[in-house]
Structures are given as structure tokens and as C-alpha cells.
A and B are shown apart, each in its own frame.
Chain A
Amino acid sequence: MRLLFLSLLLAAAPASAQRLLIPMDEGQSDHLKAYGAVYWALERGVAVEWLLNHRGGSFLADDASGLADELRVRNVAFEPLSGAGAATLVAEVERPDANTSAVRLERAPRIAVYAPEQTLPWDDAVLLALTYAEIPYEQIYDDDVLDGRLEEFDWLHLHHEDFTGQYGKFYGSYRTQAWYQQQQRDAEAAARQHGFAKVSHLKLAVAQHIRRYVLEGGFLFAMCSGTDTFDLALAAHATDIVPAEMDGDGIAPDAVSRLDFAQTFAFEGFTPSFNPMEYEHSDIDVSPPPALQNPLTDYFTLFDFSAKWDPVPTMLTQNHVASVRGFMGQTTNFREGLLKPGVVVLAESPGGEMVRYLYGPAGQGFFAFYGGHDPEDYQHFVGDPPTDLTLHPHSPGYRLILNNVLFPAAQKQPQKT
């Protein structure tokens, strides 16, 4: 009789485990699906603790509601622990001299993704991440925001969005393309429908609703041009920074001097780009140095934070690697000199002055901005097919997105240093 491999037997989980440790270090078989499994557990009221800085930011959950079976179906590696073993582990994680901490996750956050119904010729990294991780979300857009639906959600995501009403500044290259024209027609119709004279006014109103949502305790996560255009639109609430090619009238002559940086979340002192032909919104965005514009050499570094005193940035930067492969976007890095005081840098690109990932408090809520477009497609061009995440189940760049999804599930609003 042939021998069965002992390793298979050793890997089999005993039925009597009381808690399940989901490691997030190199031993995890699918990092991205692990987030979805944790979300699944939270939806069913299973208690989950996020063990910050322990084995790549692992999770400890009760073995209840069929979680172990669900983890197996999703191919998420886990280790069964007895009650005593789990207690020992938590005590170790909470040891005062260790930079680790256990944060209780309470409930599955309600998630909204701000994206148009119209299919645009580029992918959305957050939609890809949520779909792959099997985390439920609702897609909303201008109508929903203006109708006050944001309060239904704990977490809002923006991706390749343009809140300045300049249609992504694709005018120079794509104004003759059907999708661009359709995008413009849809936006103009939406503006008229809501009683706005121009698309920039509609988008400003949407940005202001989102701002209020965050100030009242919501969580905003934005990527790519959803970051800088959000602040640009808010700063330009009393002026016109949109060239005539997009909105029919010109830029206000005193546009720069009338920018109101008190309205913005992350940036101040920036200058918009008024050239309609330029694929750039402002000087907030800064490119990596030419020598680093190479997927083989372009990496950014995650900062270390104190897990006990700074749990929020620690949660947002949990990963199994310290350096994450870079990726480009319409907005790739944020110019460090334009950050507002109080904004916390979470990751920085080499070459100086380039912030890749940041977060900050705003009123009762938080925001996090992450530069770049698609963490597993170094330069995602218009018309490129979406990334297949089954090929990247361990993607550190996508993990940063999913950290944000679970962050609003944390029990307490942690202290900020």
C-alpha cells in the first residue's frame, strides 16, 4: 500500500480548534482572499482580532459559523489554535516591549465605490481587489452622493476620478474618442439634471458632499487622480480653473490667488495646470526620476509605526514586505512640500520629495490617499485589459488597498501620536 505524504496529514486541521490564526506572512496561500474571508466572518458576527505587525498583520478569529470551511474553500491558509494557545499568542502580541498589537475588528464595514455606470477604458484597482477578495460593495455615483446616500456607508473609495470637471484631462489625446465624448455628454447631462451650469460645479458639489461625509466620521480612500483632483476641486470652489476647451468659458484671471486651501484635506500651496493639452492637473503630482521609471527598479518603502501608539497608520501599512513594487498613474506621487501639517506619510518613493501613500484625520473621519493606478500593472494604458488578480494573490500593492477596507471595522478609534 502506498504511503500518503505525511505533510498532508500534518496540514489537516483538528476539528476541536477554538480559534483560527490566519497568518499574513510568506506562509499565506492567498493574501488578498484572506481579507475577504475576514470580511465574511465579520458579516456573520464572528469575533476577529487584527494582530498588527505579527506575521505580516495576521488575523485571529473564532472558529465559528463555518469559518474554517470557508477559508478552505477560498484557499486561505490558517492555523487552528486552542483557546489557551490563542490567549498565549494575544498576550505575546500585547507585550509592552514588542511593537505588535491586537486590534479588535467589530463589524463588516459598508462599502461604497464611487464610479460611473459608463464603462471607461481603464481598470479600477479597488473594484478589482474587492471583486477578487469577494468583499461586497455598492457602486454609487453623482446622483447617489447628491441624494445623501453617503451616510449609508462606512467606507468610500475614489479611483481614477476627476473632481475638477476636466474629464480626466484626456482632452489632448482622446477628445475624438467615443468613450471620451460619451463621458462628457453623460457628465453634462448629469450637471443639467442637478441644476448646475457646468460639470465642474456638479463635481465640486459632489466633492463637498464627500468632504462633509468624512468630517462627520466617514472614511475616504482615494487612488490615482481621485486624490489630487479632490483637493483641487475643493480649493477652487470660489474660482474657475477649467480651460475653455472643457467647459466653454475660460479660466478665471485670478484663479491661482483665489484658491482656498482651508477646504482641502491633504494639500496646500499647489498650482493647477491650465494647459488643456497637458495630461496633468497640478504640480501636486511628481514623477519618479527617469532612472527609476522601470518596473524592475521602482520600489517604494512603507514606514514603520508604533503598533500600540499609532495603530491607524500601522493598520494601513500591514504587509508581508517592507518595500512595495512601484506603479505609475496619472497621479503617481505627491509632492512632499505641498502636504498640509498633520498629514501622515505612510510610504515614500526614493528620489526625494515623493510621497506615495498618506493618511490624515479630518473632523471625525479619516482619509487615505494612495498614488498610482494599478499595483500590478506598471503603466496601465488606456484600453489595456484589467489585471487578472488570480495571477497576483500575494500582491503587496493590492494588500495596501485591502488594509483600508478593514480599517473601518476596528473597534476603537485609536490614539494618534
Chain B
Amino acid sequence: MRGLLVLLFALRFAGPFGVLAIPAAGAQPTVPGRPGLADTTSTAGRFQLAERYLQAGQTDRAIALLEDLHAAEPNAPAVVAKLREAYAAGRRFDDLVRLAEEQLRRSGPSPSLLAERGAALYQAGRGEEAERAWADAMALAPQAELTYRVVSTAIGQVRLYDRAADVLRAGRTTLGDSTLFRAEVAHLFVLAGDPARAIEEYLADLAQRPDALPSVQARLVRLLEQEGAAEILAVAVERAVRRDPLNRAYRELSAWLALERRDYRAALDAHTAIDRLEGEQGQSLFSFAEAAVAAGALEEAERAYVLILERHPNGPMAPLALFGRAALAQRRAEAAGETAFDAQGQPLPTPLYDAALAGFRTFAEEHAHLPQAAGALRHAAEIERTVFRRHAEAETLLQQIAGRSGDPGADARARLDLGALAVQRGDLAAARAAYAHVEETLRIGPFAEEARFELALLDFYAGDFASALARVEAMNENTATNVANDAIALKVMLREHEGPDSTSTSLRAYARAALLHRQGRPAESLTALDSLLAVAAQHPVADEAAFLRAQALRTLGRPQEALADLAAFPERYPLSYLVERAAFLRGELFETALNDPAAAVQAYTDLLARFPGSLLAAEARARIRRLRGDRPPG
């Protein structure tokens, strides 16, 4: 049975061991291009037919044909080889032995025929006789390298890899050359799953052929999956490094192994040594730092950047290390939740953001000619704007990119950010100019779409609903992008919430409150919303206003009031599409603002009960499970 099958070597030994797609037992293999017909008149045609039977898994038919061919032409090597393959595929090992012995009688003994006979005997379950056959093969021409290769290959084909390696090592001794067969023996030990002996052979091979390092690494990858193998390899390589500290291949192997084992401290040490011993300018350390960042080993990455900057301040990698270090500091600050102000607006220490900002600014000043300079300015502007709320500084930085960068993407991104800053400080004309520039310059693509949507929002904030609607209707309705989804939501609102008066007073009031909320003025937004709801509680925009009011209360640190509003939401606005979001927001408020997991679970459960088909259901289920601390069974 081939269910849980032998696959590992299926490609290597595709004939007898591979998994074949087998057609129906009675099916006739066909000649390609001539369905249902096969040329059985010529020897070549019969041979091809046998091959196809074999490929189709019909070994008995293949064997019958090949035996006839072999009887007619007993010295044809192709027929003998194919018959051998067919016997093995049909598990007719006694016939395989008989064929090998017949070949021996016909051609006389040779190492290869004797080795093949040994393999056949082994497959037939006659292990001791197989050993004698292989010994006879080696005794036949003991001074020839080829003898050992032939015998080892035959033994390897029946997957006795240790035994195959022993044959090559015996040949090494007999021939008096300890350097022979290094790579072959090492590979056989890899196949045998013996990391200790494999690495010793590879290290000896690398001592002679340091260029073989990539192929050695490729072979060793297979061993690394084996439990405990990485540690065995590391110990052996470290020993080799101590024995021969100036061998670069050993050092590189050591560094590679440390990375594969996710031992970033050891990997940093190894790369530091390579950097020092090889007189590098930080290239190896920089590669390591990038790998460490990708793997989340931020401390070791930071040390690598510092080493580059200290050792090679004028080297080619120094600017990149400076940029990398600043980006790393920003990432660590975000991960640590560093904030510049407390709830009362008092400043807090921000060492990581300070370091990141200084790094980006320095990079932008000292390496303005490099392509990463625009990115550094943008990162710095982002920190100024979002962390320190210093909008003027952010604007100054972004102005350095806009119009001066050769990169249209960087230019557009900077202008979009400038537009957002202008909205925040209330200069809607400047915002409009920034967005319009992007839209007119690019016309198509994600930046242009974003600019178009922002222009529609500006129209909306200004109460120019017809213009806003025209803009969003012109947008690409690709719902895979956030901006397109936001545009659809705005379009629906504009179509459904205008009126009833000719100036759409309620919608204007809502638009003003939304702008205030976006500008980070939740108290004023709340006041505007309260005014709106006081006079237009029955207006279609009331549900949007009530939902925005709950969000403003949340921002103002008044979660209990927000919860009260949200609790009443389904009753007040039973047909609103926002009832699901309101239910979810209740759960979030309990979970994050009030730190009340039981109430949060109940709120999310209520959402599932009321709206089982909601798009938010999957996230609600995940949050319930996380809050309950569900664990897998077993």
C-alpha cells in the first residue's frame, strides 16, 4: 500500500520507489499522438511499449515484454537496465538476483556487476550474501578509485547510507589518500541522518575547498530539521573555528549556523569576528542586522548597527546603518507604546522616539543625495506630527520632500501628508492645494485615488455635497482598498442624508462635527453633535451623529457615557447599519477603556446573538476566546 508513502527519495529513485499515477489494470498504453495504437512490430517499438507499461505501473506486462527482448538480445545494455528496473518495480527480487548473476556469467566479474548483484541480493532479503558480493567487488580492483564509487553507489541505492560511506572511507585507507571522497562521504552521512560525522567530513572538505561553502550549507539545511542536529553541528564548527581561527569558511559557517538556530547573540559574535578578521567595512554586520531585524532580534540588530557606526564611521555601510538604527528605534518605541504626553497633556520622556527622530534628521542632513533621504524626512515628519504633535516642524520636513524629490511616489506621499497636516490645523485651502496637486499630477493609481477622496471629504466638510458626490462617483470602486470602501460609505451617506431642507442643514452640521473630530478637537465635536441631535433627532443622519458622539466621548476619556449612548443605540436606531459597529464598540470599550473582560465578553456575545452574519462576528469570536483564555484541548 502506498498511502503514507515513501516520498523522500521518490525523485532520486523514481523507478522502483517513486509514486506513480497508475491507470486501470486493463488499460493499454498508447503511442503519443496515436491514441489506442502501439507499434509492437519493431524491437524499438516493443521496448518503448514496455517502458510505457512500466510508467503506467503495469509491471507484469512490462516484464513479459522485456524478458522476450532480453532473450532475443541478451547483450543489449538498455534492455538489461530496463528489465532490472522492472523487476525492482514489481518487487521480483529473486528475478533481479538471477538477472545479475546471468550478467556476471555472460560478461565476467566486474566491480559494477558484482555491486549490482549485491544490491539485488540485499533487496531479496539476503543481506549476508549481499555483503559478500560487495566485498568481492572491492577485492576485484582495490587500487581503483572508481571501484569504491561504484560499490558505494550501489549500496546507497538500497539506502544503506552508513554502509556506503564506510565503503568510500575504506577506499580512502586502501588508496592512502585521506582527502578522497570528502563531499560524497559527507553527503552520505547527511542522508543517514548522522550530523556529527557529516560535519567532520564537510569541515575537512572546506579546509581544502573553501569555495564549497554554499553547497555545504545547502546540504546541511536538510540536517537542521533533525532534532538536536543544529547543536551538534554548532559544537563541531566552533571547535573548528578555535582550531583554525583565520579560516573564513569556518567563520561563515559558524555565523550561518547561529542564524539558522536563531541564536542571534552567537551570530552577532561570528559576524563581528568576520568583520574584524577580514578587514570588512561592515557589510557582513549590516547583512546580519537586517536578518536580525526581520527576525525580531532587535537588541542584536541595534548592537550590529552601533558596531558599524563605531568601527567604520566613514565606510560605505555607515549611512545605511544610521538609517537602520533610526528605523529600529522607531519600531521599538512603537512596540513599547512610548507616548510624548500623559492624559493631562503633560510631557513624558521619549528616549526611543528622540533617538529615532535624531537619526532620521541626521541622515537627511548628511546624506541628502542618497535615495533613502526622502524616506528619512518622511519618518521624521511622521514622528513630529503623530508623536510630538509639532505640526510646524512636520510641515517643514515634508516641504523638503515635496517638489524636491526625484521620486514621484515620495513626492505624492509627502503632499498627502502635508494635506492632512493642513486639515488638522484648519487650513482647508492649503489642504485642497496639496491634494489637488497630487490628483492632477498622477491622475491614476492609489495616491491619486487617495487625493481624490480627500478632496471629496474637503467638499463634504465645506457643505458642497454635490461636488463631493461627483468626486466619489468618479472613483474606482475597488473594494479591496480602504480608500475605495471609505468612498463608497461617503457616497451612500451623501445620497441618503441630504435634505429635507434645501440647504441640508443637518448634514452640514454633521460634516462640521466630523471635521472637528478629525482635527483632534473632540470636545468641540461633541458640542456640535449635541446641538445637531437636539434639533434633528429624527433626521437620517442622527445615527451617524450618535455613533460619532460615542467615539468623541471615548476620545475624551468618558467611556461610561459612551457606553450609555451605545446601549441605547439599537433601540433608537434599529434600522441603522451602525448597530453592529455600536455593539462591537461597546465590547471594545469594556475591554480596553474599562478593563472589564467579563462585560466585554458579554458585549461581544450580544453582538453574535443579534447579528450572527455580521462581518464583525469573526473578530468578536476571536476576542471572546482571547478574553476567556481558551486553550486547545489535549
- Band of interface residues on B: 35 or more
Q: Is B1 an interface residue (CB 8 A)?
A: yes
Chain B 411-425 residues near chain A, CB threshold 8 A: none
In whole Å, how far is A405's beta carbon from the nearest beta carbon of chain B? 12
Asked if residues B634 and A137 are in contact (CB atoms below 8 Å), the reply is yes
Asked if residues B633 and A134 are in contact (CB atoms below 8 Å), the reply is yes
Asked if residues B7 and A382 are in contact (CB atoms below 8 Å), the reply is yes
Q: Is B23 an interface residue (CB 8 A)?
A: yes
Q: Name the residue on B nearest A139 (C-beta).
A: B634
Asked if residues B8 and A73 are in contact (CB atoms below 8 Å), the reply is no
Asked if residues B4 and A224 are in contact (CB atoms below 8 Å), the reply is yes
Q: Name the residue on B nearest A4 (C-beta).
A: B575
Q: Name the residue on A nearest B493 (C-beta).
A: A2
Among B540, B573, B610, contact of A12 (Cβ-Cβ < 8 Å):
B610
Asked if residues A176 and B3 are in contact (CB atoms below 8 Å), the reply is no
Q: Is B191 an interface residue (CB 8 A)?
A: yes
Asked if residues B633 and A136 are in contact (CB atoms below 8 Å), the reply is yes
Chain B 35-72 residues near chain A, CB threshold 8 A: 57
Stretch from A287-295, A341-349, A409-417 forming part of the interface with B: A287-295
Asked if residues B3 and A1 are in contact (CB atoms below 8 Å), the reply is no
In whole Å, how far is B259's beta carbon from the nearest beta carbon of chain A? 22
Given the known inter-chain contacts A12-B610, A278-B91, please indicate yes or no for A381 contacting B634, CB distance below 8 A: no
Complex Cα distance, B613 from A5, in Å, reads: 10
Q: Is B614 an interface residue (CB 8 A)?
A: yes
Stretch from A54-62, A256-264, A372-380 forming part of the interface with B: A372-380
Asked if residues B613 and A4 are in contact (CB atoms below 8 Å), the reply is no
Asked if residues B23 and A291 are in contact (CB atoms below 8 Å), the reply is yes
Q: B residues within 8 A CB of A224?
A: 3-4
Q: Is B100 an interface residue (CB 8 A)?
A: no
Asked if residues A175 and B159 are in contact (CB atoms below 8 Å), the reply is yes
Asked if residues A289 and B24 are in contact (CB atoms below 8 Å), the reply is yes
Asked if residues B633 and A135 are in contact (CB atoms below 8 Å), the reply is yes
Asked if residues A2 and B575 are in contact (CB atoms below 8 Å), the reply is yes
Complex Cα distance, B21 from A182, in Å, reads: 32
Q: Is B632 an interface residue (CB 8 A)?
A: yes
Q: B residues within 8 A CB of A177?
A: 8, 193
In whole Å, how far is A144's beta carbon from the nearest beta carbon of chain B? 15
Asked if residues B25 and A173 are in contact (CB atoms below 8 Å), the reply is no
Residues on B facing A (Cβ under 8 Å): 1-9, 17, 19, 21-25, 27, 57, 91, 93, 123, 125, 127, 159-162, 191-193, 226-227, 229, 492, 496, 540, 542-543, 573-577, 579, 605, 608-614, 617-618, 621, 624-625, 630, 632-634
In whole Å, how far is B158's beta carbon from the nearest beta carbon of chain A? 9
Q: Name the residue on A nearest B625 (C-beta).
A: A73
Q: A residues within 8 A CB of B193?
A: 176-178, 181
Among B3, B21, B613, contact of A373 (Cβ-Cβ < 8 Å):
B3
Where chain B touches its partner, the secondary structure class is: loop
Given the known inter-chain contacts A2-B492, A4-B576, A329-B4, please indicate yes or no for A275 contacting B634, CB distance below 8 A: no
Asked if residues A328 and B23 are in contact (CB atoms below 8 Å), the reply is no
Chain A 141-161 residues near chain B, CB threshold 8 A: 160
Asked if residues B1 and A12 are in contact (CB atoms below 8 Å), the reply is no
Asked if residues A290 and B4 are in contact (CB atoms below 8 Å), the reply is no
Q: Name the residue on B nearest A244 (C-beta).
A: B127
Asked if residues A173 and B3 are in contact (CB atoms below 8 Å), the reply is no
Q: A residues within 8 A CB of B161?
A: 176
Asked if residues A382 and B575 are in contact (CB atoms below 8 Å), the reply is no
Asked if residues B634 and A1 are in contact (CB atoms below 8 Å), the reply is no
Q: Is A84 an interface residue (CB 8 A)?
A: no
Asked if residues A1 and B543 are in contact (CB atoms below 8 Å), the reply is yes
Q: B residues within 8 A CB of A174?
A: 6, 8
Complex Cα distance, B24 from A293, in Å, reads: 9
Among A245, A290, A327, A382, contact of B8 (Cβ-Cβ < 8 Å):
A382
In whole Å, how far is A108's beta carbon from the nearest beta carbon of chain B? 12
In whole Å, how far is A297's beta carbon from the nearest beta carbon of chain B? 11
Q: Is A240 an interface residue (CB 8 A)?
A: no
Asked if residues A290 and B25 are in contact (CB atoms below 8 Å), the reply is yes
In whole Å, how far is A120's beta carbon from the nearest beta carbon of chain B? 10
Q: A residues within 8 A CB of B21?
A: 293-294
Complex Cα distance, B27 from A172, in Å, reads: 30
Asked if residues B540 and A1 are in contact (CB atoms below 8 Å), the reply is yes
Complex Cα distance, B540 from A372, in Å, reads: 60
Closest 3 CB pairs of A and B: A290-B22, A328-B3, A291-B24
Complex Cα distance, B343 from A150, in Å, reads: 60
In whole Å, how far is A382's beta carbon from the nearest beta carbon of chain B? 6
A-B contact pairs, 21 of them (CB 8 A): A3-B575, A7-B613, A8-B611, A8-B612, A69-B608, A73-B625, A75-B621, A134-B632, A134-B633, A172-B6, A172-B159, A173-B9, A174-B6, A174-B8, A175-B159, A178-B227, A279-B1, A279-B2, A329-B1, A332-B3, A382-B4
